[in-house]
A and B are shown apart, each in its own frame.
Chain A
Amino acid sequence: MPVSIKKEKIAQGVSFTTITDKKFKTNVLKIKLITELSENKAPLNTMVAMLIGSTNSRLKTYSEMSDRLNQLYGSSLFTDTTKSGDCQIITFSADCIGNKFTFKDEDILEQLIDIAEDCLFLPNVENGKFDKTEFALKKRDLMETIEAEINNKRGYAISQAQKSIFKDEPCAYSQYGTLELVEKITSEDVYNAYCDLINTSVVEIYYVTHEENNTVCKRFANAFSKLERKPQTLRFQTISPLKEEVCRTEEKIDVKQSKVVLAFKSSSDDMNACTILSGLFGGTPVSKLFTNVREKLSLCYYCSSVYVYSKGTILADSGVENENVGTLTEEVINQLDMIKKGDFTEEELTNTKLALINNIKSVSDSPSSLIGWYFAGYYKGNIISPEQGIKDIMSVTREQLTEAANSFSLDTVYVMAGNEKSVSDEEE
């Protein structure tokens, strides 16, 4: 069953990509609003996301919205906000099962699109302010989200580390903001942020469906063309500058296991080589970090790395006994040094490529991975088919890889230090 892909510009700074594949049983819509990330605006945009993803002028409360979505066979409608480099991305998602799977051949798709359109263009606003009650609920929810960030220790360690790694860059800020900032936010501020977002963000819309149908695209083209849009000029990749001296930060927290985050920076523009490098370094269960730091030295349960394209940075992280923090840090640095010296086999390189290719070949098997692939292509300024992506990975040579590895230098070591005492002493 062939997958067909069509991308059209439907308004100033707004593109609509339709992906048709008959094998799916659901329809999925994702609208990505991309804007610059800034300390003060990030929590406002997050509040906008929370409000437009749960209410609109007709379904004025989250309760009413949920009730309506249940009627549409548990259709989902939600937003999330992420940061990617120095940008903030608000993703508005809606999906439903195909009409043919309903009990009485109901047109639930059209009803869901009606709701989605209202959420985006007719929010629950009166006199230039979001509804007071819903605003207050979301504000408290956001504050509690910020308070609860520390509950996930691995995620918290990475987000704390980013404050040092990307110091003085927008990327250092959280997309949720701080308690102090959120406390001051008014409903009017959020409405102004909404207007800015809808008029000035760069908008990428993706629609995956099993039915050939152009009406969804037409509806959004019509709605967006009514706005006087002045889209921002955004840079999706802003290489993070390497610090003159390695920054070492330690934070003490009452936990049993310490967490270590290391950042290596580079200005290499060889995206494919950097991706393979991170895979070989710590991206698979046969990577240098997994086989040496975990399997040979038994230091940890997880030790892995990821390449952050938007900042030209590789992040490696692990959870370890406090007394082993030094050994682990040295070993992680040592493993990258070995790759720099070309100390890896041809087989290791081929296996890393095979693992990456396996992921790319699965892209066409779910609506969300298809959207993820094409959006990543857009973000990297290189929209290609998965087939081309595979060719690009295959073409990377050993020399390109060592060159990419040598372009990375250690920038930051962040340690979230746990208790010195061993858990076996205190609990048993």
Chain B
Amino acid sequence: MDNRQIIKNELTGDEYTLIKHESGLDILVWEMEGFSTTDALFGTKYGSINTRFKTGSDKEFTSVPEGIAHFLEHKLFENEDCDVFELYAKTGASANAYTSFDKTCYLFSCSENYKESLDILVSFVQSPYFTKETVDKEQGIIAQEIKMCNDNPNLRVFYNMLKCLYHSHPVKIDIAGTVNSISKIDADLLYKCYNTFYNLHNMVLVVAGNVKVDEVMEIADRRLKKCDDVKLETEFPDEPDTIVSKENVCKMSVGIPIFNIGFKSKPCKGYACLKAELEACVALNVMADPSSVLYKSMMEDGLINTSFSTEVFNGNGYFTVIFGGESKNPREVMKRINDEIDRLKIHGIDRIMYENIKKSTYGSAIRELDSTESVASAMINSYFSDVSPFDTMKILTEMTYDDVQKCICERFNPENAAISIVEM
């Protein structure tokens, strides 16, 4: 008998079902009344940072080339007898996949025949097929994807910042790897990674929108192959609290210089991490949203334009708050940010502004519920972070002024900050 649990959000009345399937897979289903679309994601907790790993039966840790998780994602779309897109084409579903730093997800969105599409999704992700020929063919396609990314100054400025901040954590490497690193990938290595990470105990299936739990279960029972937990262990090199360098400047063809300024701080896990992320998000907005003193003064002095934005970037073993945008004088932007941090540490953040930003962040969480796609991705992101998708609203309603002030004192340390610039 499957173990079903209904998880409810008292604030909005929304709910979803969590099923601990006997195959070892956890399944999350959110039935959304009135919606025609169904969005599904089948994901594994395996991203570009998982370059060293072992299973219970391995004696030693294995190291694999950079970019292999992303390569594997591309290759899984090819079955022994056909291309997976051809199967989806018969259902009309729009299918895709992505690899991030810490996960790989296969997804589809459709407005009819969701059961057929779900059957395809669950089946193909469990049926790897790699040969020398198909791997060689993919090298050319991915090499062009890498070159496209190398020409993208927004990506370059971001990765260069991570290289300034992280000594050894693999978050500093490009998700897709390099043209050189992917040339070392072969079918055997792909099978090795597949068999390690694409174990149902390391995966999750989420479905949101026009869907019925019982129908999902019928497909799961039929298609999921029961598997043993391989006792996967991933390993990250020791990462010091300090940063590597304060600045990186890269020359590229850009019309106006682009910058990313990152503040590295201690990583955390689970609920504590979501709480830290939301506090940092509120802190960033109190400090630098368009209604802030800092934003206003930098705008008036011609230091930033409306491309200026902030972000919290965190995951397994890394936590960074980022200020980014275009500027003709990025170093002065960094100086102003550091000055403002010093001021806020002494004088404290504005209480009214803090309340307004909290309201605004809560409003964004409500908006997310208006689309099947964002609900599905909120479910998978929270699952892999060991939290519930409803924890965001809970944390926001319980957050205090002191929490945010403490976050500024602890996570915005100019000693641990680096600036990355891309200019002509």
**A residues whose Cβ falls under 8 Å from a Cβ of B:** 1, 21-26, 61-67, 69-75, 96-97, 101, 103, 133, 137, 140-141, 144-154, 253-257, 284-286, 290-291, 294-295, 298-302, 319-321, 351, 354-355, 357-359, 361-362, 364-367, 418, 422-424, 427-428
Contacts and interface: CB of A to CB of B under 8 A. Distances in A.
Contacts of B109: 358, 362
Contact of A97 (B353, B363, B371): B363
A72 to B, nearest CB: 8
A301 B37 contact: no
A361 B112 contact: yes
B254 to A, nearest CB: 5
Contacts of A64: 291
A241 B361 CA distance: 50
A65 B356 CA distance: 13
16 contacts: A23-B35, A24-B370, A66-B290, A74-B360, A74-B362, A145-B305, A153-B152, A254-B252, A255-B253, A256-B150, A286-B86, A286-B89, A298-B138, A320-B144, A358-B112, A361-B37
B57 interface: no
A285 B95 contact: yes
B145 A301 contact: yes
Contacts of A72: 363
Most chain A beta-carbon contacts within 10 A, residue among B253, B361, B363, B372: B363
B394 interface: no
B359 A358 contact: no
Given A148-B307, A354-B92, A365-B36, A75 B295 contact: no
A23 B112 contact: no
A424 B254 contact: no
Interface string B147-158: 110111110000
Contacts of B148: 153-154, 257, 301-302, 319
A295 B77 CA distance: 11
B364 interface: yes
Contacts of B37: 361-362, 365
Nearest to A137: B299
B91 interface: yes
Contacts of B178: 424, 427-428
Given A140-B305, A150-B255, A428-B179, A257 B144 contact: yes
Contacts of B256: 144, 147-148, 151
B180 A424 contact: yes
Nearest to B302: A140
Given A255-B151, A320-B144, A423-B147, A428 B85 contact: no
Most chain B beta-carbon contacts within 10 A, residue among A145, A149, A290, A358: A358
A75 B296 CA distance: 20
B105 to A, nearest CB: 16
A22 B35 CA distance: 11
Nearest to B286: A70
A128 B33 CA distance: 51
Given A22-B34, A354-B90, A424-B183, 6 more contacts: A73-B360, A101-B12, A320-B144, A364-B36, A365-B209, A428-B180
Contacts of A103: 359
B111 interface: yes
Most chain B beta-carbon contacts within 10 A, residue among A133, A284, A290, A354: A354
Interface in B265-321: 289-292, 295-296, 299-300, 302, 305-307
Contact of A61 (B88, B141, B296, B363): B296
Contacts of A290: 85
A254 B252 CA distance: 8
A65 B367 CA distance: 20
B110 A358 contact: yes
B253 A70 contact: no
Most chain B beta-carbon contacts within 10 A, residue among A67, A257, A290, A365: A365
Given A23-B35, A148-B326, A301-B141, A74 B89 contact: no
B372 to A, nearest CB: 6
A310 to B, nearest CB: 25
Most chain B beta-carbon contacts within 10 A, residue among A64, A65, A137, A256: A256
Contacts of A21: 34
A294 B143 CA distance: 12
B332 interface: no
Contact of A70 (B85, B179, B252, B289): B289
Contact of A144 (B90, B110, B305): B305
B300 A137 contact: yes
Contacts of A422: 179
B147 A25 contact: no
Contact of B92 (A152, A321, A355, A424): A355
B424 to A, nearest CB: 9
A324 B57 CA distance: 47
Contact of B359 (A65, A70, A152, A291): A70
Contacts of A423: 146-147, 150, 179
A91 B65 CA distance: 47
Interface in B351-391: 353, 356-357, 359-364, 366-367, 369-372
B258 interface: yes
A262 B110 CA distance: 31
Contact of A141 (B93, B95, B305, B361): B305
Contact of A63 (B141, B150, B154, B295): B295
B94 interface: yes
Contacts of B371: 365-366
B240 interface: no
B195 to A, nearest CB: 26
B410 interface: no
Nearest to B422: A151
A26 B370 contact: yes
A359 B94 contact: yes
B83 interface: yes
Given A24-B370, A424-B179, A301 B255 contact: no
Interface string B93-120: 1110000000000000111100000000
A101 B361 CA distance: 13
Contact of A23 (B34, B93, B307): B34
A294 B326 contact: no
B35 A70 contact: no
A195 B32 CA distance: 45
B85 A286 contact: yes
